[in-house]
Amino acid sequence: MKLALVQLVSTASVEANLARTRALLEQAAQQGVELAVLPEYFCLLGHGDEAKLRIRETPGQGPIQDFLSRTARELGLWIVGGTLPIDAGAAVDEDRRAYNSTRVYSPQGDCVAQYDKIHLFRYDNGRESYDEARTLRPGRQPVVFDLLARDGQTWRVGLSVCYDLRFPELYRAHAQAGAQLLLVPSAFTHTTGQAHWEPLLRARAIENLAYVAAAAQGGRHENGRRTWGHSMVVDPWGRVVGVHPEGEGLVLAELDAGLLRQCRQQLPALEHRVL
């Protein structure tokens, strides 16, 4: 199965971000891609934490979800919609924080899965400060879905987002559920990405004998934030098979079910797990 990671440098304009996303997805479709993965906050990297709350949508309703559904259908793609803010509902959370949600669309335009980011990023080194819990509500459940490729192969896909990457127990839960492909839409900061991005991605692939595909934001954003980029595909043996360092672009990779089976047969570490 051919996969594309879409790397963006999203702005404070939803309309501009969707236009750039559509252009890159069209390029991917023209190259025979079946599954396209967008980065975290593909739709908006705005000025201040409150900006994301102003564009939050109700599940199944809203222009960003309509865009994802329509584009998946028109281009015949599976689209993993990075993340967008989804309303948690007043009955759930009176302070109206949103979920940071990944929604997955089939080539028919149907939403087949939603994952709400579980681990919320907090970081302060005296120069940069982030605290997602101010505006976001954490999810609670790991989510996997099944993707039937054009060649008849069914891939079980585990969903995660950005900061989740630092919590290996989530990915082990995916592996125990049979996941063969682990997706990580992200907007890693330049500081933390430079230090930890590639080692973490390769570790998650190696320890779970799975493909890992991480679509990232990558560059200097108009709000002053700088993201690390380096959208990356790692194979089940921990080898980097595709990367895009910085700026907009695509990472294309072929996922080989035979290689995955071979790695798991030769080194059956998943069967040897004790704890």
Q: Is 40 annotated in the active site?
A: yes
Q: Are 233 and 251 in contact (CB under 8 A)?
A: yes
DSSP structure string for 146-197: EEE-TTS-EEEEEE--GGGGG-HHHHHHHHHTT-SEEE--B--BHHHHHHHH
Spot the catalytic one: 52, 132, 162, 246.
162
Q: Are 50 and 31 in contact (CB under 8 A)?
A: no
Closest CA to 42 of 92, 5, 91: 5
Q: Are 225 and 9 in contact (CB under 8 A)?
A: no
Q: Is 226 helix (H, G, I), strand (E, B) or coil?
A: strand
Give the contacts of 252 (CB within 8 A, at least 6 positions apart).
Answer: 2, 3, 4, 28, 31, 33, 242
Residue carrying the six token digits 């069914």 = 154
Spot the catalytic one: 40, 57, 132, 246.
40
In whole angstroms, how large is the CA radius of gyration of the chain? 17
Spot the catalytic one: 52, 117, 132, 263.
117
User: Angle, to 10 degrees, between the axis of helix 168-176 and the axis of helix 190-208?
Assistant: 30
Q: Hey, what are 263's tokens?
A: 């790695």
Residues annotated as catalytic are 40, 117, 162
